[in-house]
Amino acid sequence: MIGAAELLAYRKRLHKRNLYLILLLCLLLMITALWRLGAGEWNIPLARVIALLNPFLDETSRAMPEALVIRSVRLPRVLAAVGTGGLLAVSGVVLQGLLTNPLAEPYTLGIAAGAAFGGALGFLLSSAAVTGMAFAGAMAALWLVNYISSRSGGDAASIVLAGIIANAILSAGVTFLKAIADDRLSAIVLWLMGSLSGASPFAAVSVWSAAVMLFSSAFICARQIDAVSLSEGQGTLLGINEKNLRRILLAATSLATAASVSFFGIIGFVGLAIPHLMRTFTGPSTKPLLIFSFLGGGLLLALADGAAQRLGELPVGVITALIGGPFFCWILMGRRKRV
C-alpha cells in the first residue's frame, strides 16, 4: 500500500516532469514560429526577424518591406495557426471528457458541418457573408444536436448519436449547395479544405479570443470534467449537474469552433489526434492535458501550415487530414484489439 509520503513524492516528480515537458513544447513552438516568420518566398535571416519584431520599432523601420512582410503578413498567419491549433485540440479534450468517447471532436459532432453549411450558403449570397453565416451555421448545428439529444434522454450517448445525425444532414446540405454553386464552386471547395493563407490580424485576434474563452472555461471546470469522464452518472453521484455542464461547455466549444471554421474553413483531426497523443504524457487528468494539448495543437498546425506553404500553398486541412486519418484508424484498431 502506498503511503502519504510516497504519494507526495510521486506527485512532485510528476509535476516536475510536466513542467519540463511544457517548457520543451514552448521552446519548440518558439523555434517553429521564428522559422515560419523567416521562411518563405523571401527568406529573412533569424537575427533580422527578431529585430523587426521589436514592439518599439520606429516608423521608418516599420515601413520597410521586410517589416511589412513579417508584421503584416507572416505574423498574423503564425498567430492564427497556433491559436486555431490550440483551440481545436482543447475542443477535443473537452468533448472526449464530457462525452466519455475517445473519438469525439467538433468535426464528429456536426458542429463543423453546420459551420460549413452556413459558410457555403454565405458564398452563394455574398462573399462578405461567409464568416457570419458560418458562425450562424455552427450555432444552428449546436441547437439541432441539443434538440435531438434532449428528446432522446440527453445523456452522452444520445449527444454523440445526435451529432452523427446532424453531421449527415448538414453534409448533405453542403453537397446540395455545391451542386447549385456554378462558378462559385471552386471558392466553396477551397474554403472547405481549410487554409490559413489569408489570415488577417483581425482573424488571428478573433481566434485567440475564442481559444482563451474556451480554455478558461474548461480549466475552471476541469475537476468536474474529470468526474464526468469516469463514467456516465459518476458526476451526478458527486453532486455535479452533468446536463448543465455539458450544455455550457458544448456551447463554449461550438462558439470557439465556429470562430475557427468561419475564418479558416475545415481543419480536421487536430482535435482528435493531439489529445490522444498528449494523454500518453500527462495521463487522463484534464488540467495538464488542456495545457499540453493547447501547446501541442498549436505546434502541429504551425508545422502543418509551414508544410502546406512549402508544397505550393496547399490547403492546410489536406495536411492535417493526411496526418490525422491514419491516426484515426490506429485508434479504431486499438479499440478493437482491446475488445
pLDDT band for 231, please (50, 70, 90 cuts).
low
What lies within 8 Å, CB to CB, of 115 at 6+ separation is: 134, 135, 137, 138, 141, 257, 258, 261, 262
* Mean pLDDT for all residues in the chain: 84
Question: Is 60 exceeded by the pLDDT of residue 338?
Answer: no
What lies within 8 Å, CB to CB, of 197 at 6+ separation is: 77, 309, 313
**How does 43-76 read in b/e, with b if 16+ C-beta sit within 10 Å?**
ebeeeebeebeeeeeeeeeeeeeebebbbebbbb
| Domain layout of the chain by residue ranges | 14-338
pLDDT band for 93, please (50, 70, 90 cuts).
very high
199: left (phi over 0), alpha (psi -120 to 50) or beta: beta
pLDDT band for 226, please (50, 70, 90 cuts).
confident
pLDDT digit string, tens, across residues 277-311: 888 888 888 999 999 999 999 999 999 999 888 88
The span from the CA of 132 to the CA of 115, in Å, is 10
Which pLDDT score is estimated for 164?
86
Nearest of 88, 303, 80 to residue 208 by alpha carbon = 80
Q: Which three cell numbers stand for residue 129?
A: 457573408
Which pLDDT score is estimated for 31?
94
Question: Is 80 exceeded by the pLDDT of residue 97?
Answer: yes
Which pLDDT score is estimated for 90?
95
Looking at residue 113, its amino acid is: A
337: three-class secondary structure by DSSP: helix
Which pLDDT score is estimated for 191?
81
pTM (two decimals)? 0.89
56: three-class secondary structure by DSSP: coil
Question: Is 60 exceeded by the pLDDT of residue 260?
Answer: yes
Q: First-to-last CA distance in the chain?
A: 30
Dihedral sign, CA of 265, 271, 272, 278?
A: positive
CA 321 → CA 117, 227, 266, 333, distances in Å?
20, 32, 10, 18
CATH topology classification for 14-338: ABC transporter involved in vitamin B12 uptake, BtuC (1.10.3470)
Let me know how long the chain is: 339
The span from the CA of 218 to the CA of 47, in Å, is 38
> DSSP string of 282-300?
H-S-HHHHHHHHHHHHHHH
Contact (CB, 8 A) for 235 and 97: no
Question: Is 90 exceeded by the pLDDT of residue 219?
Answer: yes
